[in-house]
Amino acid sequence: MTHKEKEADSLYYSGGEKLNQERAYAKGLCYDYNQLHPSKTEERDLILRKLLGKTKNHFLIEPPFYCDYGYNIEIGENFYMNHGCIVLDCAQVTFGDNVFVAPSCGFYTVGHATDVEERNKGMIYSHPIRVGNDVWIGGNVVVLPGVTIGNGVIIGAGSVVTKDIPDNVLAYGNPCRIVRKI
């Protein structure tokens, strides 16, 4: 089984030359994107469509933006991501329609082995992240591997989302907790 197949199956893996090349390619596109003048909207759009796995028609990601591979990221219609966001997309990251992400948010599909010997060998795992439709994510939110955020959710600023969040709730905190229904 290749490193990429292990990654896709959420098994421990440690990289490999192909993944390293794919990551380098994505980082080059992120660099190009982040260096463009804000008025270069067509060029920005072309780079993102080349980088990301799937996009709809209307979206905006403000630079700087960073990701691992890009092709594991899918964004819905009317998607907006503010400045300074990071998507570590070793597994699939899916954003629905009408999703708004505030500045400095992180979506991390990857984690390291808990066993010290395995961790020191560089063993990692990845689990997909899913964000539903009509979601607003406040600034400095971190979403951890394997989390699903339901439709119509608001995640308050500074939250660390460690578990699934059901539809139509306001949630915030560290760890993120449901505060009330919307």
- Catalytic residue list contains 83: no
| Rounded-to-integer distance, Cα 24 and Cα 22, Å | 5
Residue 122's pLDDT is: 84
> For all residues of the chain together, what is the average pLDDT?
94
**Could you tell me if 122 and 14 are in contact, meaning their C-beta atoms sit under 8 angstroms apart?**
yes
Q: Point out the catalytic residue in the list 58, 83, 112, 127.
A: 112
* Burial environment of residue 132 by CB neighbours within 10 A (0 to 12, 13 to 18, 19 or more): buried
State the SS3 of the chain: CCHHHHHHCCCCECCCHHHHHHHHHHHHHHHHHHHCCCCCHHHHHHHHHHHCCECCCCEEECCCEEECCCCCEEECCCEEECCCEEEECCCCEEECCCCEECCCCEEECEEECCCHHHHHCCCEEECCEEECCCCEECCCCEECCCCEECCCCEECCCCEECCCECCCEEEECCCCEEEEEC
pTM for the model stands at 0.93
Residue 9's pLDDT is: 63
Residue 121's pLDDT is: 87
**Could you tell me if 135 and 116 are in contact, meaning their C-beta atoms sit under 8 angstroms apart?**
no
Task: Write down the CATH number for the domain with range 3-181.
Answer: 2.160.10.10
Residue 7's pLDDT is: 60
Residue 17's pLDDT is: 86
Q: Which residues of the chain, if any, have pLDDT below 50?
A: none
Residue 3's pLDDT is: 55
